[in-house]
Amino acid sequence: MHTRRKLNVCLAFGLASLMMWPLTTHVTIPAHAQASYQATIAIRLDQPRWTINRNIYGQFAEHLGRLIYEGIWVGENSPIPNTRGMRNDVVAALRELHVPVLRWPGGCFADEYHWRDGIGPRDKRPRRSNSSWGGVDTNAFGTHEFMDLCEMLGADAYINGNVGSGSPQEMMEWIEYMTSDADSELPNLRRRNGRIKAWKIPYFAVGNETWGCGGNMRPEYYADVYRRYATFIKNHSGNHIQKLAVGGYDENYNWTEVLISQAGKQMDGLSLHYYTLPTGNWEKKGSATQFGEKEWHTTLVRTLRMDEFIQRHSAIMDKYDPQKRVGLMVDEWGTWYDTEPGRDMGALYQQNTLRDAVAAAINLNIFHKHGDRVKMANIAQMVNVLQAMILTDKEKMVVTPTYHVFRMYSVHQGATMIPVDLSAPQYKLGDASVPALSVSASRDSEGRLHLSIVNLDPNQAAEINTTIWGGAIKNVTGEVLTAAAVNAMNTFDNPNTVKPAPFSGYKLEGSQLSVRIPSKSVVVLELR
């Protein structure tokens, strides 16, 4: 039995209030009327804040497991329908997400990747051991293929350079190869390899996790290494590169302090990595699919730590960069579970459930809240690895609950953040508790207001009274993502177990909006 939760259970009240709601065309009372709790939301349209950088919806694609090879790249001769080697089903699904920026080639792999291996005729490219994640990399997917993928997706390229086993010269030459229009050796090599026009590369990182797999450096040493390498990141032919430095992880605040104080002037962004493990224990992280309310709760408690980490890393950055010129780039985040029994440990393949959808939505709400400092975030990772958007099995493909959240939330990309005052009870289990709701709002360039609401409580619906300051609404539409079980998932045989449905659990009277959000759900409303 679950520990008895102390949340204000008000079944009787919830049912009574449902019965008072007039049955207009605007109202659909969910058939599964559940116990509920009360909450209020005040949307402060009168206090618009920063632009939510669309790069917060960034993705990450590493040469790891079946992400690049099979997940994206199948080769031109594959029976799987493809365009220039990239599988059509995956590209079409990703296009729906409006992926703004894509990080590549790692991850840990970035610090063992030598770009010259991945250019020129594919049959002449060297096969290399992937010493970070196992297996052999054919190098069939290299710079030209990555840039082709970015163009197919309409995404900006974020290239992660090799510091751990590379040199400033190798990094400098890669950038010249990609971005220069000059009549010189490297751009001419690019032209001979089939690309006439220089590419735009807006983001380039100097190494990855240089405190760990990227070289096991001390922050003082890396700060100098960063300054040296960053000097050789040159802008060619009108391309402008934002230079990104490796930042800290979790509570590693000293790394941030040293980097921003000693190299802040040379960087445009500093990264932060944080993964959510249900147990917090890297040796036994917890199952992706076999879990109950206890693991649901601990996962959400740990997800919410992102808020604390961003606040504290940002506060350090504020001391040296009060103008917030340097972005905090959360370029690795997401859930990380134990490898499924029987699967390759190094491939980091995991299933994805309703819990992942809720965790994704909470994280995105947190990034919006800190959008004055958080300028990019890249979920780990795009296909078949960790908290993926898409899973494949040879020719089969399925989109995950996390994919649906990214699609529903895409309305917030580039919109103006609108503060929301929330009053909600705590969702408690054992000694730990979290707010039962997570919310975020934004107004887009056409004046549409979008309100995202996540109900963390897996047992109770939320009855929410909403007021809007500084505006009026006449029309409400929306979508809801939920399922019968906390560990509901999409499989190749049952791909639609978790999918969004139109949301009609609202009542609009004048400017007074009441909504009933099902337990364990993500809702995105459009208010006009």
Write out the residues near ligand AHR by the rule CB under 6 A: 62, 106-108, 208-209, 332, 380-381, 386
Q: How far apart are CA 484 and CA 32, in angstroms?
A: 10
Closest of 360, 396, 410 to residue 490, by C-alpha: 396
The minimum distance between CB 133 and ligand AHR, in angstroms, equals 8
**Catalytic site includes residue 332:** yes
Q: Which residues contact 188 (CB under 8 A, 6 or more apart)?
A: none
Nearest approach in angstroms of CB 252 to ligand AHR is 13
Q: Decide if 401 contacts 356 (C-beta within 8 A).
A: yes
Q: What is the distance between the alpha carbons of residues 220 and 354, in angstroms, rounded to a whole number?
A: 42
CA distances from 12 to 28, 203, 438, 450, 490 (A): 19, 55, 24, 31, 34
CA–CA dist 285, 11 (Å, integer): 35
| Angstrom distance (rounded) from CA 403 to CA 351 | 12
Residue 265: CB partners within 8 Å, gap ≥ 6? none
Please name the residues in contact with 297: beta carbons below 8 A apart, sequence gap of 6 or more.
Answer: 427, 429, 430, 432, 434
Q: DSSP readout, 114-154?
A: -GGGGSS-GGGSPPEE-TTT-SEE---S-HHHHHHHHHHHT
Using CB positions, name the residue nearest to ligand AHR.
107
Q: Which is nearer to ligand AHR, 338 or 463 (CB)?
A: 338
Nearest to 252 by CA among 279, 230, 222: 222
Helix, strand, coil shares, percent, the chain, to 5: 30, 25, 45
- CB of residue 349 vs ligand AHR: minimum separation in angstroms? 12
* Tokens encoding 243: 């230079």
Report, in Å, the least distance between residue 59 CB and ligand AHR.
12
Q: What is the smallest separation between the CB atom of 385 and ligand AHR, expressed in angstroms?
A: 7
Which amino acid does the sequence have at 342? G
Catalytic residue among 112, 170, 176, 209: 209
Question: What DSSP string runs through 254-265?
Answer: HHHHHHHHHHGG
Find residue 38's DSSP bridge partners: 463
| Pick from 107, 142, 149: nearest CA to 127 | 142
* Alpha-carbon radius of gyration of the chain: 23
Residue 524 contacts residue 411 (beta carbons within 8 Å): yes
Cβ 240 vs Cβ 219: under 8 Å: no
Which position has the token pair 């049912």? 15
Instruction: Classify residue 196 by burial, with Cβ atoms within 10 Å: 0-12, 13-18, 19+.
Output: exposed
**Measured from the CB of residue 216, what is the shortest distance to ligand AHR in angstroms?**
13
Q: For ligand AHR, which is the closer residue by CB, 208 or 466?
A: 208
CB of 523 to ligand AHR, least distance (A): 29
Give backbone dihedrals phi and psi of 250, rounded to 5 degrees, phi first: 45, -120
Return the closest-CA partner of residue 267 out of 276, 254, 258. 258
Q: Is 209 a catalytic residue?
A: yes
Q: Which of 332, 340, 509, 526 is catalytic?
A: 332
Least spacing, CB of residue 336 vs ligand AHR, in Å: 8
Q: Catalytic residue positions?
A: 209, 332
